[in-house]
Structure 1
Amino acid sequence: MPRHHTVEVNGLRLHVAEEGEGPLVLLLHGFPEFWYSWRHQLTALAQAGYRVVAPDQRGYGSSDRPDSPDAYSILHLSGDVVGLIHALGERQAFVIGHDWGALVAWSTATMRPDVVRGVAGLSVLPPARGPLPPLRQTREKFDGRFYWNYFEQPGVAEAEFGKDPDRTFRRLLFGASGDRQLSGPPGPPLVPPGGGFLDLAADPERLPPWLTEEDIAAYVAAFERSGFTGPLNWYRNLDRNWELTATWAGARIDVPALFVIGDRDRAFPGRDGIVDALSAAAPHHREPVIVAGAGHWVQQERPAEVGDALVSFLASLA
């Protein structure tokens, strides 16, 4: 069982779940998650001989939630990773992230390769820098209906998600999973006029085998404590991140890298698309792992397959 404690990082208190002894591995969750999304991998990696730490990142769970939206830039988030490694008494760590956590992991490996021994991203590839700020670009392309633009409106998504958190997490976790059967090829997630983000999801008739009532209750309790504003502030910094990271335009990830994705993830671009993106961004990448039947919550939907892939990757770097 993981041990829970608080670590002081960059003037914030970050709650972490920790298990095992050995080389340090950080597990960074995505949106809308918290340390609990790594519950299976914490044990699997600890049993493989690693000290595994899964934080609630800033704004989430039991960690501090700065009031200012400006406190959630990618420089703050990557700085928390570096600060956490050092606060845990280490000089380096393996950094693994899912969804937004993958973006933080990729960014940390790009900006501070001296502290990252190896990096793995789940579900989200290393981002390619576009010619325009991303929120502006999606606003113009999709007439403001892209879900990033829905999230950037202060108070709107918070009200929708917070109205009935139990319904919110049933819809989000099932709706983006590989168990939801989509009719036709997935398109961009566009919020319907006059509707909300949850209109894009679906109510499960029954929970899939990987998701229990206890899991839903854990998510509800965490977000009733933290709210949704901190997590949504990550999205509200997308244009600012584009400005702040201009120095790293064209920079590549020079540490060993692994990418894992479910083949039913809406963002799945096919093996060729994955290899092309990884080769451009992370030339020392390993063969990507594509998990059959899994959707966006790949480490929760297929914990054994993801655990095996991560253990193999880390062992290859020993």
Structure 2
Amino acid sequence: MTVEHTGIDVVVVGGGIAGASAAANLALNGLSVVLLEKQETYQDIVRGEWIAPWGLREAQTLGVEEAFGIGGAWEIREWTQWDETVDPAEAETVDMTRFVPGVGGPMSFPHHEVCALMAEQAEDGATVVMGAQRVQVTAGTRPEVRWTRAGQEHLARPRMVIGATGRGCTVGRQVGVSMATSVHHWGGGLRVTGLDDWPMDVQAMGTEDEKMFMVFPQGDGNARLYINFPTANRKLYQGPEGERRFIADFELASLPDRGKAVYSAARSIGPLKLWPSVAMFPEQPIVQDGARADGRELRRVGDRPAQHGPARGRAGVRVQRVLRREAVQGEGMNVKDTLLTGSVHVNGIDIAYVDKGEGDPVVLLHGFPDSHYLWRHQIDPLVEAGFRVIAPDLRGFGESGKPQEVEAYDMRTIVNDVVALTQHLGIPKAHIVGHDWGAAIAWMYAFLMPRRVDHLAVLSVGHPGVFGTPSIEQRKASWYMLFYQFPGVSEQLLRRNGWRLFKEIMGGEGDHQRYPRELAKPGALTAALNWYRANRSPEAELRVEGNFPPVLAPTLGIWSTGDKALLEEGMTGSVKFVKGSWRYERVEDASHWIPLDQPEIVTKLLLGFLGTEKAAAVPTRRRRL
């Protein structure tokens, strides 16, 4: 007995990158979609793991770009053209980030993990059928799609069929598009780890002798290696020693140090796949004068039979509206989620920042794993109220520099970043506002630089004198800080399985959908974790000083009842370290990310607090004679 599916607008055959993204977008925009994928679960097929910047722009337009970042995509910023025709030291480097403005460089990614995430996204509105076998498409004014799943036959009569079966062109063949094929060469691919000495933002594509070699980094010492070779040598990497020979063949005179960073260090973490590289061309035009290859008239998505005038079906109208809307949005869309206005090299590092408005300056400091964009709901209201707002990307985050050394994230170093930035901007004194790690920096800035602080507002994180000796309840709540202490291991576990552990730690809070995309940038995850390694390691706790200079500025402490990581005691206990006036506000119905969850309340509290009272007198320092 056949199960018939009715009311289907579109059936997509093939759940790869193209098919899954099409299904997700069409379902998002109101169409009834069925996605058929032959695999029960997505497997590592080795190929298709590099996407160009213009492909990423298409992914943004379709609304599926986050699947790449969450799925472990790694930005490649440069292509050094190592090749047998040039000495390695003289090879030219191409900046890959400039091809499509606002997108960045190409991405290298685990194909199967990204496909799984796209299919998961499609499930929000589409029916995703994994393990669909024996798919058969019949063309016509009302096409038919038949398939079997677990022995059960299924039938759908959609209004449109999308064939996304890759180079095999299965659907095309079934509806009469015959293909001419020829084998040009053979290829092989292997995912490896251990490439710690290979620059993770640089790809290689070149030729030497009878081989074309490619190295596409995927972050954290991982990379996908490819070799294309003549058909006559198709058995070159077969057999039990195939992997060893494949890696060894990256000892190439074209690469620096003859490729030692690859051939002597690479360890397999995926299957070695070999395949014939087949060139395929349609043997006749697919569309001729508005007619299909089988002679029937082409129809738009929404056209019903015998309905060819201006009044189209709802689906067609809806799709066209969506395409028009996205085209308009795309003209000026800010794909990087940034409000940045400048960047400066201070304290040995590039610091990107927002500088907006005129009046008394307010410096907004973000925490982990945010950027200046955390404050997007507060910046304009502060400017409109007559303040000059400075919101930097602190080192290790956003568009600022990301040194990989742990010691680069010592608290005093970061305080000096803020001092140097405000000096560069001609600001001798400012209101300081901080959240999370930004609050910790704000506290230290206030008691180390009292003459540079007008008012102090701290969100979520209390004074380091309280947090330096936390209660056992606070230690339990901040367990993740200990987990972040293991270089390399923490990074791999957080990124594994589409950032699953990281997403569980985040619990759907903050800008949780943006964070994996930002942390997937070269060096970003290690830089962010180094804040904890430099300042919250067990050894760092032994160095906590018992005596702190008093905070002289009027101080506002804000804590939220939904904060899972920080207890209220950390904020309320901070009063004993403040000599200036102290005010405490408890915000309901907000997670740790108060500026995002209760933006109007935070803005109102800041506007009502800044500039209302003066700081306590700064003690005069006697000159030593």
Would you say 1:156 and 2:489 are equivalent positions?
A: yes
Q: Is the 8 A contact 1:2 1:18 kept in 2?
A: no
Would you say 1:310 and 2:310 are equivalent positions?
A: no
Q: 1:42 aligns with which of 379, 386, 393?
A: 379
Q: 1:25 aligns with which of 362, 372, 396?
A: 362
Letter in 1 for 2:528: P
Classify 1:235/1:293 alpha carbon distance in 2 versus 1 (closer, same or farther; 3 Å): same
Q: Is the 8 A contact 1:58 1:64 kept in 2?
A: yes
Q: 1:259 aligns with which of 554, 557, 563?
A: 557
Structure possessing the higher relative contact order (Cα contacts under 8 Å, 6 or more residues apart): 1
Distance 1:50 1:302 in 2: 21
Q: Is the 8 A contact 1:169 1:216 kept in 2?
A: no
How far off is 1:87 after superposition? 1.1
* Secondary structure of the corresponding residue to residue 16 of structure 1: strand
**1:53-68 mapped onto 2 (5 Å cutoff):** 53-68=390-405
5+ residue gaps in structure 1?
178-210
State the partner residue of 1:231.
Answer: 528
Would you say 1:269 and 2:606 are equivalent positions?
A: no
State the partner residue of 1:289.
Answer: 585
Distance 2:507 2:520 in 1: 20
Letter in 1 for 2:465: A
Would you say 1:250 and 2:587 are equivalent positions?
A: no
Classify 1:168/1:229 alpha carbon distance in 2 versus 1 (closer, same or farther; 3 Å): same
* Secondary structure of the corresponding residue to residue 341 of structure 2: strand
Distance 1:84 1:164 in 2: 39
Q: Is the 8 A contact 2:558 2:586 kept in 1?
A: yes
Letter in 2 for 1:308: K
Distance 1:149 1:244 in 2: 16
Classify 1:167/1:88 alpha carbon distance in 2 versus 1 (closer, same or farther; 3 Å): farther
Q: Which has the higher strand share?
A: 2
* Secondary structure of the corresponding residue to residue 148 of structure 1: helix
Classify 1:303/1:167 alpha carbon distance in 2 versus 1 (closer, same or farther; 3 Å): farther
How far off is 1:36 after superposition? 1.0
State the partner residue of 2:260.
Answer: none
Q: Single out whichever of 61-70 and 231-240 deviates more from structure 2.
A: 231-240
Classify 1:256/1:130 alpha carbon distance in 2 versus 1 (closer, same or farther; 3 Å): closer
**1:26-175 mapped onto 2 (5 Å cutoff):** 26-128=363-465, 146-163=479-496, 171-175=504-508
Q: Is the 8 A contact 1:19 1:53 kept in 2?
A: yes
How far off is 1:312 after superposition? 0.9
Distance 1:18 1:168 in 2: 36
Classify 1:103/1:245 alpha carbon distance in 2 versus 1 (closer, same or farther; 3 Å): same
* Secondary structure of the corresponding residue to residue 57 of structure 1: coil
How far off is 1:35 after superposition? 1.2
Q: Is the 8 A contact 2:351 2:400 kept in 1?
A: yes
Classify 1:150/1:89 alpha carbon distance in 2 versus 1 (closer, same or farther; 3 Å): same
Classify 1:163/1:6 alpha carbon distance in 2 versus 1 (closer, same or farther; 3 Å): farther
Distance 1:123 1:35 in 2: 17
1:8-44 CA-to-partner distances (Å, cap 9, x unmatched) read: 2212110112322211111111111111111111112
State the partner residue of 1:197.
Answer: none
* Secondary structure of the corresponding residue to residue 377 of structure 2: helix
State the partner residue of 1:280.
Answer: 576
Distance 1:158 1:131 in 2: 25
Distance 1:294 1:117 in 2: 27
**What count of residue pairs does the alignment treat as equivalent?**
270
* Secondary structure of the corresponding residue to residue 95 of structure 1: strand
Q: Which has the higher helix share?
A: 1
* Secondary structure of the corresponding residue to residue 579 of structure 2: coil
Classify 1:301/1:129 alpha carbon distance in 2 versus 1 (closer, same or farther; 3 Å): closer
Give the fraction of aligned pairs with identical amino acids, expressed as a percent: 32
Q: Single out whichever of 159-168 and 283-292 deviates more from structure 2.
A: 159-168
* Secondary structure of the corresponding residue to residue 290 of structure 1: strand
1:191-247 CA-to-partner distances (Å, cap 9, x unmatched) read: xxxxxxxxxxxxxxxxxxxx7xxx55543443222521111111111256557663x
Would you say 1:299 and 2:595 are equivalent positions?
A: yes
How far off is 1:68 after superposition? 1.5
* Secondary structure of the corresponding residue to residue 228 of structure 1: helix
Q: Is the 8 A contact 1:30 1:101 kept in 2?
A: yes
How far off is 1:251 after superposition? 2.2
How far off is 1:81 after superposition? 1.2
Distance 1:164 1:5 in 2: 36
How far off is 1:58 after superposition? 0.6
Classify 1:7/1:169 alpha carbon distance in 2 versus 1 (closer, same or farther; 3 Å): farther
Distance 2:613 2:443 in 1: 17
Distance 2:445 2:540 in 1: 13
State the partner residue of 1:8.
Answer: 345
* Secondary structure of the corresponding residue to residue 391 of structure 2: strand
Classify 1:60/1:165 alpha carbon distance in 2 versus 1 (closer, same or farther; 3 Å): farther
5+ residue gaps in structure 2?
1-337, 615-625
